[in-house]
Each structure stands twice: as C-alpha cells, then as structure tokens.
Amino acid sequence: TQVDLSEITITINQFVPEVYAYFDFEVDEQTKTATLTSFNESLAEGKTDIVIPASISKNAEEQWIEGNAYTVESIGGSVFRGCPSLTSITLPSSLTSVGNFAFSNCSSLTGELNLGECTSLTSIGDYAFWECRGLTGALNLGECTSLKSIGENAFSDCNGLTSITLPEGLKSIGNSAFDGCSGLTSLTLPSSLTIIGDRAFLRCSGLKEVIIDSEY
C-alpha cells in the first residue's frame, strides 16, 4: 500500500518556543504572577505583531515558554517605548496593569485599540500610549469593568482616535489624559467618575458632544 506524502510537512528536532527570546519577565513566586519587564527589539528580527502570553513557564534550558506556572498580570514601565516597528499588539485577558510609558511614542502602532478582552485591567499608567498617533477610530474600554484609573497623559496626542468608550466603574482620569485627541467627536462619562484631572480633554478641537451620566 502506498501513502501519499506530497501534502505533508514533517519537521524534525525544531524547537519553536511560544514565548520568544525578546521578552523578559520578573516573577513573584508567592503569587505565581509575572510582569513583562523588557522587550529586545533587535532580537525580534523585525517582527511587527506582538502577542503577549497569558501565562509563562520555563523549559529545561531555562527558556521562557508558554505555560501555566506564572500568570502574566502586568506590563512594566517603558517596555515598548518608542518601538518604531510595532504595528499591533494582543494583550492577555489576565492583564491587570499597563505601566507608565509602556507603549508611548510607538509611531507605527495603527488601527483601533480594543482592550475589551482585558476584563481584569485595573489601571493604565501615565503616558502609557502617549503620542501613538497611528491609533485610529474607536478606543474600546467599555468592557474593562475592573478599570479604575487612567493615568496622566495616558492617551495624549493620539489625534486619530474618534470615539472613546469608558467603563462604568472608572474612578479617575488623570491630568491631560486625552489632551490633543483632536479627532475625538463625542464622549460619554460614566457615573462612577470622581476625578477628572486638569486639561484632561484639552485641545480636543473636534469634540462636539459630552454626555455626563445623570448620576455623576
């Protein structure tokens, strides 16, 4: 009996890690959680689409691989700051915080930023997406039901954003958080808000309508 192998690809002894060498993490042994602390763009070899895993482990060679030993909860400060080749990101649902300057000045980061899957996200740090001018369309935070704070200048000068959905439960918007978002045309503020920082929506020249929840 003959077997047709013409459409079958066989790969032998090829190690393909799920978490690549350009990531580094710090782990907390007590809580079994991990923070993404650095990204080495030179090792990424021009990779433009970055997927951050929900959990990590190590293999016998001490290389990071995808696994359930540590849950990835945080992105540290300045991890992707000024990364010119980054065009899109996929964030894990386990994410609880985005650090200061984490994605600031990522000039090639384009399209809509949908964080709706990040239901555990509690905070977006200062300058987290500052000057990400390639972001366009909607910023969806509406399903981030754990989100309590948006930091200073978090989305300032993201002038391609046209709409923002904020979640009920959000407590504070930092100073200049959306300063310079000139493409923004309408905004609804949730009743849970207690703090809106100075200049939070300064230079939002396209803003035509602001709806404040009647309970606010």
Among 45-59, 73-87, 120-134, which is the least confidently predicted range? Answer: 45-59
**Residue 194 pLDDT > 60, yes or no?**
yes
The Cα 19–Cα 96 span in angstroms is 20
CA 198 to chain centre: 24
Concatenate the DSSP letters of all residues of 154-203 into one string: TTTT-TTEEEEEPPTT--EE-TTTTTT-TT--EEEE-TT--EE-TTTTTT
Which pLDDT band, with edges at 50, 70 and 90, does 3 fall under?
Answer: low
Please tell me the predicted confidence (pLDDT) of residue 119.
93
Q: How far is CA 160 from each of CA 132, 136, 173, rounded to the nearest angstrom? A: 9, 4, 19
Tens-digit pLDDT profile for residues 149-160: 999 999 999 999
Q: Token match 């035509």: residue?
A: 208
The helix or strand, by DSSP H or E, that contains position 61, with its residue range, turns out to be none
Tens-digit pLDDT profile for residues 130-147: 999 999 999 989 899 999
Tens-digit pLDDT profile for residues 11-20: 444 445 678 8
